Amino acid sequence: MTAGAAIDRSWNVPGAPRLAAYGRVATRDVDEAAEQIGRIFCPHGLQPKAGTARDFLALHNCAAFDGFSINYVAYGGEVAIDPGCLDRFFLVQIPFAGAANIRTAAREVATRPDGVASLLSPTLSTRMVWDNCAQLILLLDRRLVEQRAAALSGRAVQPVEFEPSIALSAPHGSRLRAHMLALADLAESLGGERRPTAVVAANWRETLLDILFQQPGDGLSEAIRLHSGQIETLPRAVRRARDLLDARASEPLDLAQLAASAGVGIRALQGGFRRHFGMSISDMLLDIRLARLNAQLMAAPPEARIIDLAFELGFTHLGRMAGAYRDKFGETPSATLQRTQRGRFTN
């Protein structure tokens, strides 16, 4: 059965399927479902529970944006799904109906509507069992997430693994659910034919990434808070200097002025940065500038030039900037810009 074809849904889903104008897969054939959904997400095993094959149904609607997509996925009957490691992306799965049991990272998460959602990390092997389940799923490109983690934590790009369970009653889970529903509403308002402007898509991407890194227990939360100067135990002078660096990142570094503004001597401030951040003041400033450059490249308009962005951020030596950017984010600034522009034309 081709995407968009009529389906006799004998299982309970509240209301009509979401994102109906973005139909990709609609079938009762197990092999066809595994092949077609595997092309959108990743290759995976798909096996209905013995004796329930007659109830099998697969539906996948997908609205794709630049580096992320919002999806409605439903399976009729009880189905075992074995994607292994997702590799290229993160998935946030919020159930609308039925139940899903997820095993990942030696953890088991039982999800249910209005109760618990799941967050799957690409480096962790995953197995799932869906039971007459329909879910709204947010896909985020792995590169986007790992580069944001690097920008927030002061570390180089490295694998990021989140806590797989999301309590939808908690403030973070409630906010994430509300934004995913709003994104689905936006996609539906476009009718499957129009696309949001690049600015709107970039704003959504930034908002979703911000919410994602508010997820408790992500392993980076303390590093992010420390690097941003938010840890309460930071000495006041160190926190003050970190805030000033952030506010004046595009200006030349004046250590004497920075120390005076923080109310300590230069050597004391230098020692404080090395002790609490593990880097020098100049390295911290470089990292702030690199993080801003990365964010600007991810949202850059088609006419943007790296040299202009770099100079506005206070970089004076483009070769050194490019090398430092590559060390931190795992690719050159031009590669980030090209990937951003390419995504706008291919999604």
183-187: Cβ within 8 A, 24+ apart: 183/70, 183/138, 183/208, 184/18, 184/19, 184/63, 184/70, 184/72, 184/136, 187/19, 187/22, 187/63, 187/70
Mean pLDDT, range 53-70, rounded to an integer: 91
pLDDT digits (tens, 9 = 90+) for 192-222: 888 888 888 888 999 999 999 887 666 677 7
Radius of gyration of the chain (CA): 23
In this predicted structure, the answer to whether residue 28 has a pLDDT above a threshold of 80 is: yes
Q: What is the pLDDT of residue 282?
A: 96
Looking at the chain, how many residues does it have?
347
In this predicted structure, the answer to whether residue 345 has a pLDDT above a threshold of 50 is: no
In this predicted structure, the answer to whether residue 30 has a pLDDT above a threshold of 50 is: yes
CA 18 to chain centre: 21
Please tell me the pTM assigned to this model.
Answer: 0.86
Q: What is the pLDDT of residue 15?
A: 60
Residue 275 phi/psi, 5° resolution? -75, -40
pLDDT digits (tens, 9 = 90+) for 283-319: 999 999 999 999 999 888 888 999 999 999 999 999 9
**In the chain, what are the domains?**
20-220 (2.60.120.10), 222-346 (1.10.10.60)
Query: Which structure tokens are listed for 10?
Result: 């004998």
pLDDT digits (tens, 9 = 90+) for 64-90: 998 999 999 999 999 999 999 999 999
Greater pLDDT, 220 or 230: 230
Q: What is the pLDDT of residue 53?
A: 74
The answer to which of 12-26, 110-124, 234-248 has the lowest mean pLDDT is 12-26
Query: Which structure tokens are listed for 345?
Result: 């034309």
- Closest C-alpha among 229, 211, 226, 225 to residue 162: 211
- Closest C-alpha among 157, 154, 156 to residue 283: 154
Q: What percent of the chain has a predicted confidence (pLDDT) above 90?
A: 73
State the Cα–Cα distance between residues 120 and 325, nearest whole angstrom: 28
Helix, coil or strand: residue 109: strand
Q: What is the pLDDT of residue 3?
A: 42
- Provide the pairing of β-strand 23-27 with 57-64: antiparallel
State the Cα–Cα distance between residues 251 and 117, nearest whole angstrom: 44
- Provide the pairing of β-strand 57-64 with 89-104: unpaired
The mean pLDDT value of the chain amounts to 89
State the Cα–Cα distance between residues 63 and 79, nearest whole angstrom: 24
Q: What percent of the chain has a predicted confidence (pLDDT) above 70?
A: 93
Q: What is the pLDDT of residue 149?
A: 93
